[in-house]
């Protein structure tokens, strides 16, 4: 984890990391530390590979978190998510792994991730993880992803 006032990726050419382990997430100080608020990232075109067939899998990820001392820098998050493009893992591993890594490194007050995966073998697989109970008073909007009927 890096935490600095000057993000390491912004304004620079940044190649896509080859895999999630190589990807570096960047964190900056929370400009509203002490305030209880929710940040949402939606990645409607997330891709990874099936570990059995090596065929591409597609998901709409929604990441919600209540920051504490840091916030994740969005370009580093995009590069991290992009690093899964050639990564072979089951839906559960990708979704929960992303949530757990963000939670461990950023140490937000609370985090949840919804992985809304498009059908594999005719069955959509949705995976959800959260770090615990949300803080009292935190507004939690619906994640806004339709139950599978072509995903909207």
Which residue out of 50, 86, 93, 126 is catalytically annotated?
50
Q: How far is CA 39 from CA 8, 25, 125, in A?
A: 21, 16, 24
Q: How far is CA 56 from CA 2, 29, 59, 141, in A?
A: 31, 36, 10, 30
Sign of CA dihedral 8, 1, 56, 63: negative
Only one residue has tokens 């599978």, namely 148
- Strand spans (E) along 7-119: 26-29, 39-49, 56-66, 70-72, 110-117
Question: Can 57 be counted among the known catalytic residues?
Answer: yes
In eight-state DSSP terms, residue 56 is E
Question: Can 142 be counted among the known catalytic residues?
Answer: no
Kindly list the catalytic residues.
50, 57
């Amino acid at each position: 984890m890096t935490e600095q006032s000057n993000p390491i990726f912004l304004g620079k050419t940044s190649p896509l990391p080859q895999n999630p382990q190589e990807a570096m997430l960047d964190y900056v100080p929370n400009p509203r530390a002490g305030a209880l608020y929710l940040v949402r990232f939606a990645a409607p075109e997330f891709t990874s590979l099936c570990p059995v067939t090596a065929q591409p899998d597609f998901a709409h990820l929604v990441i919600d978190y209540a920051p504490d001392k840091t916030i994740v820098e969005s370009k580093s998050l995009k590069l991290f998510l992009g690093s899964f493009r050639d990564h072979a893992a089951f839906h559960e591993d990708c979704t929960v792994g992303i949530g757990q890594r963000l939670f461990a490194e950023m140490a937000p007050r609370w985090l949840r991730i919804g992985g809304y995966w498009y059908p594999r073998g005719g069955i959509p697989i949705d995976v959800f993880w959260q770090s615990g109970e949300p803080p009292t008073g935190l507004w939690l909007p619906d994640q806004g992803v339709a139950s599978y009927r072509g995903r909207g």
